[in-house]
Amino acid sequence: MTRIKPVDPSTAEGKTKEVLDLAQKQFGDIPNAFKTLASSPAVLEAFLGLSNSLVKGLLTPTLREQIALSVAGKNNCDYCASAHTAIGGMLGLSKKEMALNLKSQSDEPRTQGILQFVNHIVDSRGQIYDMEFIRLKELHLSDAEISEVVAHTAMNIFTTYYHIIAQTEVDYPLVKAQSK
């Protein structure tokens, strides 16, 4: 049972309706994640603002989803694992790769290095060692790309925490996060 009641878009009013309409215009659908975040239009608007800014960055849509899967797995968020597995599948990620991503792993060495960094950010709450940063540079990540990896990680930490706390009802095919 959800702890934070999702907003019904058909009965939303004022700022809540405005932000949900914006989400529908941008994404075509309003998943339970957005309906629940809309309990505070400021929260949904903040999330959409960050998300919309980051999609204009350097990271590929596939890598963004792999980061989201890594954080979902690490924080054991079934909602986020389910949502990002569905999106990753639409982007062409294999089921095998997405299962690895939920464990902060990848068959591709560059992605593996990035997901290890994401894993360390989550584990250490951002207190990384110089060597971890050097490893990213060895993978030829620019400062801008590293900044975006950190931003995507932080955004996904927020959404995993939020949906775990809210107990948002999964409206995608269920994927268990399997973090432990």
Residue range(s) defining the domain that contains residue 127 = 61-166
Same-domain status, 134 and 155: yes
Q: How many CB atoms lie within 10 A of CB 143?
A: 9
Same-domain status, 90 and 159: yes
168: CB partners within 8 A, 6+ apart: 2, 4, 6, 32, 33, 36, 79, 162
Note whether residue 177 is domain-resident: no
Same-domain status, 69 and 123: yes
Same-domain status, 35 and 99: no
Same-domain status, 116 and 31: no
Note whether residue 4 is domain-resident: no
Same-domain status, 109 and 148: yes
Q: Is the separation of the CB atoms in 66 and 81 below 8 Å?
A: no
pTM higher than 0.85, yes or no? yes
**DSSP-based three-state secondary structure for 114:** helix
Query: pLDDT, tens digit, for every residue of 61-98?
Result: 999 999 999 999 999 999 999 999 999 999 999 999 99
